[in-house]
Amino acid sequence: MSQSQHSRMLFDAVSLSRDGIAVLDDISLALPTGKITALLGPNGAGKTSLLHCASGVMIPSHGNVLLDGVAIESFAPHVLAQSVAVLPQQSGLNFPFIVEDVVAMGRFPHSDGQACDQAIVHRLMDILHIRDLAQRPYTALSGGEKQRTQLARVLSQLICNTQLDVNGSSVLLLDEPIAALDMPHQSLLMNLLQQLAAKGLTVLIVLHDVNLAATYADKIALLKAGRLLAFDSVDKVITETMIKQVYDVDVDIIAHPKTAKPLVIREV
């Protein structure tokens, strides 16, 4: 199996228009396998729409999203679900399932046996610090606890065992997963994603925190008004001119004292 550099998910000249307005305009990019790609851009840039195209919920007006060379919409849902997991921006669950049952739903696309499923579910609940909440109704949780429950659910969909091994063709799409999380859990999640990426998971993550993206992502895609302005390594994308161009704010960029990664600070 040819690992690494070969890209599993490919956006090929993807355009999407809605009621005559272009939401995405000719976007081509290849998600590097086993890497974290952060999708940045101002509100309304088309980040969520791009994620919808990647998950097959929306079909591009032009162009294609390909998974291993096959158009994403031609997969049967239950086949696609074995390789692609999606965390939407908001969750509409308002039935009092207990936390453990919500996480276990991530195992629906697989039939690896109850013992295996349960072990994966428990492992992820341990990692995301929701094991104590296992028997609590989801509806009674705080925003951050709900988010961690949903994260555990989505991750359990792509993990094959308690060693956190992932199927090499798995793609994880996350839409602003850290918004409701406190600082330690933000780091926890990003570290976990790095760990999974090292095992072959391809991650596309929408973020608003540029510094978080700069610290943890391998590549950054900058989106503005439906157009892809840049898609490159962190050092090349996080520059004063680029940030000015995308967000229209003046910033200073310094090197992180420990990691030497770019650190964006707002000008006063």
Partner 1 sequence: MSIADNASVKQQEPFKSLSGSSLSFGLAGWLLCLLTPVMLLLGLSVGPVSMDMQQLFQVLLHLFTDTSSLDPAMAGLQTIVADIRLPRTLLAWIVGAGLAISGAAMQGLFRNPLADPSIIGVTSGASLGASIAVVIIGSSISASEQWGGLSILVLGAFVGGLLAVLTVYRLSTGSSDHFSSSSTSVATMLLVGIAITALAGAGNSLLAYMSDNETMRRISLWNMGGLDAASQPRVILAACIIVPAVFLLMRFSRQLDAMLLGESEARHLGVDVQRIKWSLVVIVAFAVASSVALAGVIGFVGLVVPHMLRMVIGPGHRRLLPYSALAGGLMLVAADIVARVILSPAEMPVGVITAILGAPLFIILLRQRRDYGMY
Chain residues in the site for partner 1 (CB under 8 A): 1, 8, 16, 18, 55-59, 61, 67-70, 73, 75-86, 88, 91-98, 101-102, 105-106, 108-111, 137, 139-140, 157, 167-169
Least distance in Å: CB of 260 to partner 1?
37
Least distance in Å: CB of 200 to partner 1?
12
Least distance in Å: CB of 225 to partner 1?
18
Instruction: Give whichever of 85 and 164 is closer to partner 1, judged by the CB atom.
Output: 85
Instruction: Give whichever of 112 and 182 is closer to partner 1, judged by the CB atom.
Output: 112
Q: 3-class secondary structure for 135-191?
A: CCEHHHCCHHHHHHHHHHHHHHCCECCCCCCECCCCEEEEECCCCCCCHHHHHHHHH
Least distance in Å: CB of 163 to partner 1?
19
d(CA 268, CA 266): 6
Pairing of strands 9-18, 202-206: unpaired
Least distance in Å: CB of 140 to partner 1?
5
Instruction: Give whichever of 59 and 265 is closer to partner 1, judged by the CB atom.
Output: 59
Instruction: Give whichever of 30 and 212 is closer to partner 1, judged by the CB atom.
Output: 30
Cα dihedral 7/9/13/16 (nearest 10): -160
Contact (CB, 8 A) for 131 and 98: no
Instruction: Give whichever of 28 and 139 is closer to partner 1, judged by the CB atom.
Output: 139
Contact (CB, 8 A) for 111 and 76: no
